Chain A
């Protein structure tokens, strides 16, 4: 489950028009969410609130045999009015799962980027500041996100702790997203690392005309070089997203390759229904011939559908006209609609949105011989996340991780 501050950061990206799906590190997000999800360890409690439209705070308490915690504060120069409390937030906004990609759109013109107050020009260079201090260790995590232009963004992250080498690490990302392609320049003080990432979307101009066409092919790569340790790094990846020709269900295929270590990975993820998503991944190393097969699924449970207050019925879901005012109100209330659970059809109708109350995730890996189970859901005004990871070494099941996490925000 995403933390409250991750959720706020996504709201910032959304309100400033930044497309997270179009950057290279997120190319395998769907399969990672379904297969590599994190199981909570021990007991964790998160209390968060938005004290003003521009600022938010979080207190975190964790018990892993010893009690530790953190305090986090955030300030955004742009008022974030799309943040919901845990009572009303859409579960799909805080639980990572099958990622329905944001449609590609044309970048905003510099003309509209400027805001005029009388004769004074004020550019919308929105900035987000974030800081988190761990207690009792007093380690600091800091982040600064600044929009520089309609297509560029500067992201600076920092970890400062006296126990780390050189007192910590500072990493700078200069990101440029023009829709058809996105590139990123990286510098990190850790080993003076220099890096470049890029991703290209094929058929971009055709996609802008054909909104109903959900297929998209993206190819990207990254190149790193550590100046101090003289160590290079390289990876390339491709992602194909489409709807099945027969059933119309969304599917995602990814291929990643790291030529230096000889690692190949292919993943196939499928949104079988609005509440069921499946994924499988095959990893293979061409030098050692080691391989691994991972499979995972997630099953969402809904409370009711729009227009029917009773529980989930066996009858066919009601079709809602997207031009109706009721749908517009519902749609407006869900400002974080990028992972919307609805499917908009080309004929102007929409399969109804569902309010999900909980999700059950399961994944297993034949190579590492473990099984992960995770349940995430809402109880009254709390978001709960509980899970277990079982290792099957020598045929004996051993619980390696078990935990519960509670989130509350107002």
Chain B
């Protein structure tokens, strides 16, 4: 039996997928920075973590 979705449900699913895609797109790098800041031992300086410049 084929699963049939109503037009509203399809629209909601499509919107949910779009929002998740945007969230991952803009949240991926902050997530990596969060891991780098919280999981590293010793915990690095936040400016040093963000910037590759040697003076920072």
Residues of A contacting B44 in the complex (Cβ-Cβ under 8 angstroms)? 51-52, 55
Asked whether A410 lies within 8 Å of B51 as measured between CB atoms, the reply is: no
CB distance from B15 to the nearest CB of A (A): 14
Q: Does residue A131 face the partner (Cβ distance < 8 Å to B)?
A: yes
Q: How large is the interface on B (under 10, 10 to 19, 20 to 34, 35 or more residues)?
A: 20 to 34
Asked whether B32 lies within 8 Å of A54 as measured between CB atoms, the reply is: no
A79 to B44, CA, bound (A): 13
Asked whether B32 lies within 8 Å of A129 as measured between CB atoms, the reply is: yes
Asked whether A57 lies within 8 Å of B25 as measured between CB atoms, the reply is: no
Q: How large is the interface on A (under 10, 10 to 19, 20 to 34, 35 or more residues)?
A: 20 to 34
Q: Which residue of A lies closest to B35 (CB)?
A: A75
The residue from A53, A54, A57, A74 contacting B51, defined by CB atoms under 8 A apart: A57
Q: Does residue A18 face the partner (Cβ distance < 8 Å to B)?
A: no
Residues of B contacting A123 in the complex (Cβ-Cβ under 8 angstroms)? none
Asked whether B49 lies within 8 Å of A129 as measured between CB atoms, the reply is: no
- Residues 146-188 of A, flagged 1 when their CB comes within 8 A of B and 0 if not, give 0000000000000010000001100000000000000000000
Q: Does residue B40 face the partner (Cβ distance < 8 Å to A)?
A: yes
- Chain B contact surface mostly: helix
Asked whether B36 lies within 8 Å of A52 as measured between CB atoms, the reply is: yes
Q: Does residue B24 face the partner (Cβ distance < 8 Å to A)?
A: yes
A235 to B39, CA, bound (A): 43
The residue from A57, A75, A130 contacting B50, defined by CB atoms under 8 A apart: A57
A118 to B20, CA, bound (A): 40
A133 to B49, CA, bound (A): 16
Residues 45-102 of A at the B interface (beta carbon under 8 Å): 47-49, 51-55, 57-59, 71, 73-75, 77, 79
Asked whether B33 lies within 8 Å of A73 as measured between CB atoms, the reply is: yes
Given known pairs A52-B44, A54-B40, A140-B25, the reply for A47 and B52 (CB within 8 Å) is yes
- Residues 24-53 of B, flagged 1 when their CB comes within 8 A of A and 0 if not, give 110011011101100111111100111111
A residues whose Cβ falls under 8 Å from a Cβ of B: 47-49, 51-55, 57-59, 71, 73-75, 77, 79, 129-131, 133, 140, 142, 160, 167-168, 409-410
New A-B pairs, 6, CB < 8 Å, besides A47-B53, A55-B40, A77-B39: A52-B41, A55-B49, A129-B32, A140-B25, A160-B24, A410-B52
B residues whose Cβ falls under 8 Å from a Cβ of A: 21, 24-25, 28-29, 31-33, 35-36, 39-45, 48-54
